[in-house]
Amino acid sequence: MLPLVTQRRARVRRLLIGAPLPSSAHEGQLLRKRMALPIFASDPLSSVAYAPQELLLILAAGGTALVAFTPLVATAVVTLLIVVVVSTRQLVRAYPSGGGDYEVAARNLGERAGLVVASALLIDYVLTVAVSVASGVDNIISALPGLHEWRVEIALACVAALVAINLRGVAEASKVFAIPTYLFIGSVLVMIVVGGVRDLTGSLPVAESARYAEHGAQLSQAAMVLVLLRAFASGCSALTGVEAIANGVQAFRRPKVRNAQLTLVAMGSVAITLFVGVTYLMLRTHVHYVADPCSLSGITSCDTYVQRSVIAQVASATLGGDRSVGFYVVQATTALVLLLAANTAFNGFPLLGAVLGRARYAPKAMLARGDRLVFSNGVLILGTAAGLLLLATDASLTVLIQLYIIGVFVSFTLGQTGMVVHWTRRAELLSRHGRATRGVHARRVVNVIGAAATSVVLVIVTVTKFTHGAWLVFLLMPVLWFLMLKVNRYYAAVEVQIAPDGSTRFGSSGDHAIVLVHTLHKPALKAIDYALAAEHASLEAVHVATSRSGARALRAQWEEMGMAVPLTILESPYRDVSTPLIEHIKSHRDEHGSEVVSVYAPHYVYGHWWEGLLHNRKLGRIEKRLALCPGVAVVLVPWLLDSTQALFERQPRPLVGLERRGVSGLPPVRRNSP
User: Smaller CB distance to a copy of itself: residue 80 or 647?
Assistant: 647
Q: Provide the β-strand partners of residue 511.
A: 596
Min dist. Cβ of residue 22 to a copy of itself (A) = 5
Q: Are strands 538-545 and 213-214 parallel, antiparallel or unpaired?
A: unpaired
Q: Can you say how many angstroms the Cα of residue 433 is from the centroid of all Cα atoms in its chain?
A: 44
Min dist. Cβ of residue 496 to a copy of itself (A) = 9
| Cβ-contact 123, 473 below 8 angstroms | yes
SS3 92: helix
Within 625-644, the residues that bind a copy of itself by CB under 8 A are 625, 627-642, 644
Contact region with a copy of itself (CB under 8 A), list: 36-44, 72-80, 229-237, 614-622 = 614-622
Q: Is 647 in the site for a copy of itself (CB under 8 A)?
A: yes
Within 154-173, the residues that bind a copy of itself by CB under 8 A are none
Q: For residues 163 and 374, what is the distance between their CA atoms, to the nearest angstrom?
A: 11
Within 369-388, the residues that bind a copy of itself by CB under 8 A are 369
Q: For residues 29 and 252, what is the distance between their CA atoms, to the nearest angstrom?
A: 9
User: Smaller CB distance to a copy of itself: residue 188 or 640?
Assistant: 640
Binding footprint of a copy of itself, residue count (CB under 8 A)? 97
Closest CA to 332 of 199, 208, 186: 186
Min dist. Cβ of residue 176 to a copy of itself (A) = 25
User: Smaller CB distance to a copy of itself: residue 71 or 630?
Assistant: 630
Q: Provide the β-strand partners of residue 154.
A: none
Longest dimension (CA), the chain: 105
Q: For residues 219 and 215, what is the distance between their CA atoms, to the nearest angstrom?
A: 12
Min dist. Cβ of residue 577 to a copy of itself (A) = 11
Contact region with a copy of itself (CB under 8 A), list: 41-49, 155-163, 449-457, 656-664 = 656-664
Q: Is 494 in the site for a copy of itself (CB under 8 A)?
A: yes
Within 6-35, the residues that bind a copy of itself by CB under 8 A are 20, 22-24
Closest CA to 514 of 499, 526, 527: 527
Q: For residues 282 and 295, what is the distance between their CA atoms, to the nearest angstrom?
A: 20
User: Smaller CB distance to a copy of itself: residue 462 or 538?
Assistant: 538
Contact region with a copy of itself (CB under 8 A), list: 190-198, 268-276, 466-474, 586-594 = 586-594
x/- mask, a copy of itself, residues 501-540, rule CB under 8 A, reads: --xxxxxxxxx--------xxxx-x--xxx-xxxxxx---
User: Smaller CB distance to a copy of itself: residue 27 or 535?
Assistant: 535
Would you tell me how many other CB atoms lie within 10 Å of the CB of residue 184?
Answer: 28
Q: Provide the β-strand partners of residue 598.
A: 513, 633
Min dist. Cβ of residue 602 to a copy of itself (A) = 9
Of residues 32, 582, 645, 646, which one binds a copy of itself by CB under 8 A? 582
Q: Is 301 in the site for a copy of itself (CB under 8 A)?
A: no
Within 430-489, the residues that bind a copy of itself by CB under 8 A are 487
Contact region with a copy of itself (CB under 8 A), list: 47-55, 268-276, 311-319, 647-655 = 647-655
Within 593-612, the residues that bind a copy of itself by CB under 8 A are 593-596, 598, 600, 603, 605, 611
SS3 283: helix
Of residues 146, 500, 562, 667, which one binds a copy of itself by CB under 8 A? 500
x/- mask, a copy of itself, residues 201-230, rule CB under 8 A, reads: ------------------------------
Of residues 469, 491, 555, 646, which one binds a copy of itself by CB under 8 A? 491
User: Smaller CB distance to a copy of itself: residue 161 or 532?
Assistant: 532
| Cβ-contact 310, 52 below 8 angstroms | yes
DSSP 642-671: GGGHHHHTT---PPTTTGGGT--SPSSP-S
Q: Amino acid identity of 575?
A: R
Q: Is 663 in the site for a copy of itself (CB under 8 A)?
A: no
Q: For residues 186 and 647, what is the distance between their CA atoms, to the nearest angstrom?
A: 49
User: Smaller CB distance to a copy of itself: residue 247 or 672?
Assistant: 672
Within 344-363, the residues that bind a copy of itself by CB under 8 A are 363
Q: Are strands 538-545 and 509-516 parallel, antiparallel or unpaired?
A: parallel
Q: Amino acid identity of 389?
A: L
Contact region with a copy of itself (CB under 8 A), list: 305-313, 322-330, 378-386, 653-661 = 653-661
Q: Is 553 in the site for a copy of itself (CB under 8 A)?
A: no
Q: Distance between the two ends of the chain, CA-based, in angstroms?
A: 26
| Cβ-contact 369, 376 below 8 angstroms | yes
Of residues 164, 179, 365, 442, which one binds a copy of itself by CB under 8 A? 365
| Cβ-contact 140, 154 below 8 angstroms | yes
| Cβ-contact 638, 605 below 8 angstroms | yes
Q: Is 673 in the site for a copy of itself (CB under 8 A)?
A: yes
Q: For residues 452 and 528, what is the distance between their CA atoms, to the nearest angstrom?
A: 73
Q: Is 562 in the site for a copy of itself (CB under 8 A)?
A: no
User: Smaller CB distance to a copy of itself: residue 206 or 302?
Assistant: 302
User: Smaller CB distance to a copy of itself: residue 97 or 651?
Assistant: 651
| Cβ-contact 75, 301 below 8 angstroms | no
Min dist. Cβ of residue 636 to a copy of itself (A) = 5
SS3 543: strand
User: Smaller CB distance to a copy of itself: residue 22 or 434?
Assistant: 22
| Cβ-contact 397, 138 below 8 angstroms | yes
User: In what helix (H) or strand (E) does residue 197 lie, and over which residues does it extend?
Assistant: helix 170-200
**Phi and psi for 671 in degrees, rounded to 5?**
-80, -5
Of residues 498, 562, 609, 650, which one binds a copy of itself by CB under 8 A? 498
Q: Provide the β-strand partners of residue 637.
A: 602
Closest CA to 479 of 232, 120, 96, 210: 120
| Cβ-contact 357, 369 below 8 angstroms | no
User: Smaller CB distance to a copy of itself: residue 428 or 571?
Assistant: 571
Min dist. Cβ of residue 35 to a copy of itself (A) = 24
Q: For residues 278 and 282, what is the distance between their CA atoms, to the nearest angstrom?
A: 6
B/e letters for 624-648, b = 16+ CB within 10 Å, e = fewer, are eebeebebbebbebbbbbeebeebb
Of residues 254, 323, 432, 617, which one binds a copy of itself by CB under 8 A? 617
**Phi and psi for 22 in degrees, rounded to 5?**
-75, 160
Of residues 5, 392, 429, 556, which one binds a copy of itself by CB under 8 A? 5
| Cβ-contact 38, 178 below 8 angstroms | yes
Of residues 160, 493, 553, 666, which one binds a copy of itself by CB under 8 A? 493
Contact region with a copy of itself (CB under 8 A), list: 154-162, 253-261, 401-409, 592-600 = 592-600
User: Smaller CB distance to a copy of itself: residue 64 or 651?
Assistant: 651
